Amino acid sequence: MAGKVVNVAGKRKEAIARASIKDGSGLIRINSRLFEALPYKYAKMRILESLDVARGFVDLSKLDISVKSEGGGFMGQAEAVACAIARGLVQFTGSDELLAKYHDYDRTLLAGDSRQTEVHKPGQSSKGPRHKRQKSYR
Protein backbone atom coordinates (compact mmCIF):
# COMPACT_ATOMS: atom_id res chain seq x y z
CA MET A 1 0.00 0.00 0.00
CA ALA A 2 1.30 3.44 -0.91
CA GLY A 3 1.77 6.12 1.76
CA LYS A 4 -0.17 9.31 2.11
CA VAL A 5 0.19 11.86 -0.71
CA VAL A 6 -1.00 15.47 -0.62
CA ASN A 7 -1.25 17.69 -3.73
CA VAL A 8 -1.75 21.44 -3.23
CA ALA A 9 -1.21 24.70 -5.11
CA GLY A 10 0.03 28.16 -4.16
CA LYS A 11 -0.18 31.42 -6.11
CA ARG A 12 1.54 34.78 -6.08
CA LYS A 13 0.87 37.39 -8.78
CA GLU A 14 1.34 35.50 -12.07
CA ALA A 15 3.24 32.58 -10.52
CA ILE A 16 1.63 29.24 -9.74
CA ALA A 17 3.30 26.44 -7.78
CA ARG A 18 1.95 22.91 -7.44
CA ALA A 19 3.40 20.85 -4.59
CA SER A 20 3.24 17.14 -3.91
CA ILE A 21 4.13 15.96 -0.40
CA LYS A 22 4.55 12.28 0.48
CA ASP A 23 6.45 9.99 2.83
CA GLY A 24 10.05 9.60 1.76
CA SER A 25 13.67 10.36 2.59
CA GLY A 26 13.71 14.15 3.03
CA LEU A 27 14.28 15.30 -0.56
CA ILE A 28 13.01 18.73 -1.57
CA ARG A 29 12.86 19.31 -5.32
CA ILE A 30 11.73 22.46 -7.06
CA ASN A 31 11.28 22.20 -10.82
CA SER A 32 13.19 18.89 -10.77
CA ARG A 33 16.23 20.53 -9.08
CA LEU A 34 17.36 19.88 -5.54
CA PHE A 35 16.55 22.74 -3.19
CA GLU A 36 20.24 23.31 -2.43
CA ALA A 37 20.96 23.86 -6.15
CA LEU A 38 18.60 26.85 -6.49
CA PRO A 39 20.52 29.92 -7.68
CA TYR A 40 18.77 32.74 -5.80
CA LYS A 41 19.70 33.25 -2.14
CA TYR A 42 16.67 35.34 -1.16
CA ALA A 43 14.25 33.03 -2.93
CA LYS A 44 15.72 30.11 -0.98
CA MET A 45 15.34 32.07 2.26
CA ARG A 46 11.67 32.74 1.53
CA ILE A 47 11.01 29.05 0.86
CA LEU A 48 12.93 28.07 4.01
CA GLU A 49 10.59 30.24 6.10
CA SER A 50 7.68 27.93 5.38
CA LEU A 51 9.80 24.91 6.33
CA ASP A 52 11.22 26.48 9.51
CA VAL A 53 7.78 27.24 10.93
CA ALA A 54 6.82 23.56 10.59
CA ARG A 55 9.99 22.06 12.12
CA GLY A 56 8.47 21.37 15.56
CA PHE A 57 5.36 19.74 14.08
CA VAL A 58 6.70 17.69 11.17
CA ASP A 59 9.81 15.57 10.73
CA LEU A 60 10.96 16.95 7.37
CA SER A 61 13.63 14.26 7.03
CA LYS A 62 10.85 11.72 6.43
CA LEU A 63 8.98 13.69 3.76
CA ASP A 64 9.62 14.14 0.05
CA ILE A 65 8.45 17.49 -1.30
CA SER A 66 8.26 18.00 -5.04
CA VAL A 67 7.18 21.38 -6.43
CA LYS A 68 6.65 22.59 -9.99
CA SER A 69 6.35 26.34 -10.47
CA GLU A 70 5.64 28.41 -13.55
CA GLY A 71 4.84 31.97 -14.56
CA GLY A 72 5.93 35.26 -13.05
CA GLY A 73 9.43 36.11 -11.88
CA PHE A 74 11.76 34.20 -9.61
CA MET A 75 10.56 35.89 -6.36
CA GLY A 76 6.90 35.44 -7.29
CA GLN A 77 7.63 31.78 -7.93
CA ALA A 78 9.50 31.50 -4.62
CA GLU A 79 6.57 32.94 -2.69
CA ALA A 80 4.14 30.68 -4.55
CA VAL A 81 6.35 27.68 -3.67
CA ALA A 82 6.45 28.75 0.00
CA CYS A 83 2.66 29.06 0.01
CA ALA A 84 2.19 25.64 -1.60
CA ILE A 85 4.59 23.96 0.84
CA ALA A 86 2.91 25.56 3.87
CA ARG A 87 -0.57 24.55 2.69
CA GLY A 88 0.64 21.05 1.93
CA LEU A 89 2.27 20.56 5.33
CA VAL A 90 -0.87 21.73 7.13
CA GLN A 91 -3.00 19.38 5.04
CA PHE A 92 -0.52 16.49 5.39
CA THR A 93 -0.39 16.70 9.18
CA GLY A 94 -3.98 17.78 9.76
CA SER A 95 -2.68 19.77 12.73
CA ASP A 96 -4.67 22.77 13.96
CA GLU A 97 -1.62 23.87 15.99
CA LEU A 98 0.50 24.09 12.83
CA LEU A 99 -2.29 26.02 11.11
CA ALA A 100 -2.38 28.49 14.01
CA LYS A 101 1.42 28.78 13.98
CA TYR A 102 1.41 29.70 10.27
CA HIS A 103 -1.37 32.24 10.87
CA ASP A 104 0.61 33.81 13.71
CA TYR A 105 3.86 33.89 11.75
CA ASP A 106 2.68 35.09 8.33
CA ARG A 107 -0.88 34.66 7.12
CA THR A 108 0.13 35.02 3.46
CA LEU A 109 1.95 31.67 3.65
CA LEU A 110 -1.48 30.03 3.74
CA ALA A 111 -3.91 32.56 2.32
CA GLY A 112 -1.70 33.88 -0.45
CA ASP A 113 -1.23 37.52 -1.34
CA SER A 114 -4.27 38.94 -3.09
CA ARG A 115 -2.49 41.97 -4.57
CA GLN A 116 -2.36 42.05 -8.35
CA THR A 117 -0.74 44.33 -10.90
CA GLU A 118 -2.87 47.36 -11.72
CA VAL A 119 -4.45 47.41 -15.17
CA HIS A 120 -3.16 50.00 -17.65
CA LYS A 121 -5.85 52.58 -18.39
CA PRO A 122 -6.93 53.28 -21.98
CA GLY A 123 -5.52 56.22 -23.92
CA GLN A 124 -2.34 56.48 -21.86
CA SER A 125 1.22 55.54 -22.60
CA SER A 126 2.59 52.08 -21.93
CA LYS A 127 4.88 53.31 -19.13
CA GLY A 128 2.48 52.48 -16.34
CA PRO A 129 -1.16 52.24 -15.29
CA ARG A 130 -1.37 55.88 -14.13
CA HIS A 131 1.29 57.51 -16.28
CA LYS A 132 0.02 60.55 -18.18
CA ARG A 133 1.75 62.49 -20.92
CA GLN A 134 3.50 65.57 -19.55
CA LYS A 135 2.21 68.99 -20.59
CA SER A 136 4.29 72.04 -21.42
CA TYR A 137 2.54 75.38 -21.66
CA ARG A 138 5.27 77.20 -23.58
Question: What range does the domain containing 30 cover?
Answer: 5-109
Q: What is the pLDDT of residue 112?
A: 78
Evaluate whether residue 120 is within a structural domain: no
Over residues 101-133, the pLDDT tens digits come to: 999 999 989 987 788 778 888 877 778 888 888
Enumerate residues 6+ apart whose C-beta is below 8 A from 115. Answer: 13
Q: Is 41 inside a domain boundary?
A: yes
pLDDT > 70: percent of the chain: 98
115 in any annotated domain: no
Which residue ranges of the chain lie beneath pLDDT 70? 1-2, 138
Structural domains in the chain (count): 1
Does residue 96 form part of some domain?
A: yes
CATH of the domain at 40: 3.30.230.10
Angle at 28 between CA 49 and CA 106, to 5 degrees: 20
Does a structural domain hold residue 98?
A: yes
Specify the pLDDT at position 120.
86
Residue 78, Cβ neighbours under 10 Å: how many?
Answer: 25
Q: Kindly state whether residue 117 falls inside one of the protein's structural domains.
A: no
Residue 100 covered by a domain: yes
Residue 10 lies in a domain: yes
